[in-house]
Amino acid sequence: MDPSAHPLDLERSSRPATRRNLLLRYPVAAFFILAYAISWGISLFAARGLLPFAVPPVVTLLAGLLYHFGPALAGITMAAVEAGRAGVRALLRPLGQLRVRVSWYLLIVLYPLALRLAAAGLGAALGGPAPTFFASTELGLPAGNPLVMAVPVFLSTLILTGIAEEIGWRGYALPRLQARHNALVASLIVAALWAPWHYNPLNYPAMRAIIPWHVLSVLGMTILMTWVYNGTGGSLGIAVLFHASSNFADWVVPTSPAVQGDMRAYVAQVFLNLTIASVVVLVFGPTNLSRRTRARSGV
C-alpha cells in the first residue's frame, strides 16, 4: 500500500472489490435481485402512465420486448463476476446440449398441448365456454393463417420466454440451488421467486385477478422443468424448448381467462399440472426428481 495515498482514494479503490466480494458471498440472491431490477426497471418504460415524463412509442415498444431478458442478463452478469469469460461460457454451453432421447422431445412438445386440451375440455364440461383455438388477437398477436403464424409465434416465444428467461432460472439459479438443496427444495425456491417476477409494472394490472392461481401454475411448471432439466443431464437447451413449447401452447389452445372470459379452464389446467408434478415427485423422488444424478452444469 502506498503510504502517500490519500485515504479517500484508498476508500474509492476498495469499493469495487467490496461489491464483488459481496456478490460472490451471495451469488444466487444477487442473481434474483438483479433479474428483478433489470426486468421491472425496463418494464416501467413499457407500462403507460407510471413515469413522470412522456416515453416515446419506440421506447415503449422496445421496453416491452427487452424486459423479458432480465433473468438472462442477470445470469450472464453473475457468471462473469464469478469466473469471467470462462464462467459465461460454462453458463451458455448447455444451450447446445440437445442430444437427448426422442422421448424427451415428444414430452416437451406434446405435454403442453395435451394439458391445455384436457383443461379446456374439462372447463367446458364444467359449464365454461367451448375451447378457442389460435386466439392471436386476444393475446395481442397479429391475426393470420395459423399455419403461417405458427413459425413466428414459436420463434418469438423461443426468444422472449425460452432464451430470455431460462439462461437465468434453469441455467444459473437452479444448478447452484441444487448444489445446496435437494431438487424439490431447489424447485420451490425458484418457483417462489419466478412467479412474482411476472408481476412487474407492465403485467400486474392484467394478472392481478389470477395471481394465486398463477403462483400454483408456476409451482407445477417449475417442478416439471427441474425434472426435464435433471433428466436430460442438465440440458439448458431442452429447458428452453420446453418453456417455449409451453408458451406456444398458450396460443394454440388458450386457457387464459383473458381469452376465455372464464376461469374454469385455467383452474383446471393448474390442478392437472400440479397433479402431474406431484406424480413426478412421488415416482422420481424429491432428491433428484430424476433417475440420474442431479445436474450441476455451470457451477
Give the count of beta carbons closer than 10 Å to the beta carbon of residue 145: 8
- Between CA 293 and CA 257, with CA 224 as vertex, the angle to 5 degrees is 170
Q: What is the mean pLDDT of residues 14-21?
A: 65
The reported pLDDT for the residue numbered 173 is 98
In tens, the pLDDT along 43-86 reads: 999 998 889 898 999 999 999 999 999 999 999 999 999 999 99
On the question of pLDDT at 171 being above 80, the answer is yes
Enter the pTM of the model. Answer: 0.89
Model pLDDT for residues 188-236, shown as the tens digit of each residue: 999 999 999 999 999 999 999 999 999 999 999 999 999 999 999 999 9
How does DSSP classify residue 167?
I
How many beta carbons lie within 10 A of that of residue 133, not counting itself?
A: 12
Instruction: Give the residue extent of every domain in the chain.
Output: 7-284
